[in-house]
């Protein structure tokens, strides 16, 4: 990740060297007895710690406004603290205004850092909403699919039962979505590209769901969607919308563009999970047979 921020690291390093050069060439060294070790340790330690925070921030985040504000603010605190520390080694004339400007980087950096944390807070809210779509009711469950990082079929069945037992009489619907010709995608582009298709479809579906909806990878190339509070008609409309959104995706593999389309089946979640899923799976199978027969004709 640090490779993405090479320019920021170079500029920060040059700024530190520039401070040292200014003090060494324009300042007068203080004799050793005048050194104040408490100030050296506190100000120098602040600069060192701020430098480590810059590395931690840049090594854990991609580029963007939030990263620039956070890293830039901390870097200014680092440079200002380093300048404060150099004051303990060199005497600068009162007419040298640049020394005051360097020390003023500390409060300026704190302001920049505060702005970065403000935008980081909003960023976290959006990420938490996205995470809520993945986890829905529980943050500590382990029923994740390895490829898509979505909940698996066992978790889906538990959540269907949970909705039926805890919200009796409330509308709830279930949708199954199947990727058309997924086996052909695997044969043409390879299994690794097929896994990327599954991940891309999962992301697209998540982006178009409500926070209370639950998306799972049911099996193979099939996704299941549990819609609390939705009627069968609303579930059908949602399934059509999701199929349309996935159909507009532009997924590119090394050997060309991958065309992706979905089949779907939906029903009210008013029966046992096994019965519901079996019925929707049969509906998808019938759709696939009808499509194959139409192409053959």
pLDDT recorded at residue 128 = 72
Which residue carries 């695997």 as its tokens? Answer: 186
Task: Look at residue 126 in the predicted model and tell me its pLDDT.
Answer: 76
pLDDT at 252: 80
Digit-coded pLDDT (tens) for 224-263: 999 999 999 999 999 999 999 998 887 887 777 788 889 9
Q: Which two tokens stand for residue 212?
A: 């209370």
Residues 118-139: tens digit of each pLDDT: 999 988 887 776 666 555 544 4
What residues does each domain of the chain span?
2-134, 141-296
Check if the beta carbon of residue 253 is closer than 8 Å to that of residue 193. Answer: yes
- Judged by DSSP in three states, 261 sits in coil
Q: What is the pLDDT of residue 142?
A: 52
- Cα separation, 112 vs 74, whole angstroms: 8
Based on the number of CB atoms within 10 Å of its own CB, is 158 exposed (0-12), middle (13-18) or buried (19 or more)? middle
pLDDT averaged over consecutive 10-residue blocks of the chain (297 residues)?
78 92 89 89 93 91 88 94 90 78 89 94 78 52 74 89 87 94 86 90 89 88 93 93 89 79 92 93 87 66
Domain 141-296 CATH superfamily: Reverse transcriptase/Diguanylate cyclase domain (3.30.70.270)
Total-model pTM:
0.55
Q: Looking at residue 137, what is its pLDDT?
A: 45
State the Cα–Cα distance between residues 104 and 106, nearest whole angstrom: 5
Both tokens of 73, joined, read: 């603010």
pLDDT at 224: 95
Cα 140 to Cα 10, 116, 121, 153, 194, distances in angstroms: 41, 30, 23, 17, 29
């Amino acid at each position: 990740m640090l490779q993405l921020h090479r320019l920021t690291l170079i500029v920060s390093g040059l700024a530190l060297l520039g401070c040292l050069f200014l003090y060494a060439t324009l300042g007068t060294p203080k004799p050793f007895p005048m050194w104040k070790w408490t100030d050296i340790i506190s100000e120098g330690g602040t600069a060192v710690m701020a430098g480590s925070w810059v590395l931690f921030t840049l090594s854990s985040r991609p580029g963007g406004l939030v990263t620039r504000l956070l890293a830039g603010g901390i870097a200014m605190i680092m440079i200002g603290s380093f300048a404060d520390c150099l004051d303990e080694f060199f005497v600068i004339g009162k007419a040298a205004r640049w020394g005051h400007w360097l020390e003023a980087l500390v409060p300026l950096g704190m302001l920049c850092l505060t702005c970065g944390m403000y935008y980081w807070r909003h960023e976290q809210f959006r990420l938490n909403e996205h995470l809520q779509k993945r986890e829905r009711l529980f943050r500590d469950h382990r029923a994740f699919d390895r490829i898509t990082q979505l909940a698996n079929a066992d978790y889906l069945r538990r959540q269907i039962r949970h909705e039926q037992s805890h919200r009796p009489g409330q509308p709830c619907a279930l949708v199954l979505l199947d990727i058309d010709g997924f086996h052909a995608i695997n044969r043409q582009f390879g299994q690794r590209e097929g896994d990327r298709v599954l991940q891309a479809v999962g992301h697209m579906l998540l982006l178009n769901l409500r926070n209370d909806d639950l998306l799972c990878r049911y099996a193979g190339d099939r996704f299941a969607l549990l819609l609390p509070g939705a009627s069968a008609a609303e579930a059908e409309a949602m399934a059509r919308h999701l199929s349309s959104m996935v159909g507009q995706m532009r997924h590119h593999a090394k050997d060309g563009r991958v065309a992706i389309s979905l089949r779907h089946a939906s029903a009210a979640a008013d029966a046992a999970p096994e019965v519901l899923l079996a019925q929707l799976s049969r509906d998808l199978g019938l759709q696939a047979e009808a499509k194959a027969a139409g192409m053959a004709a």
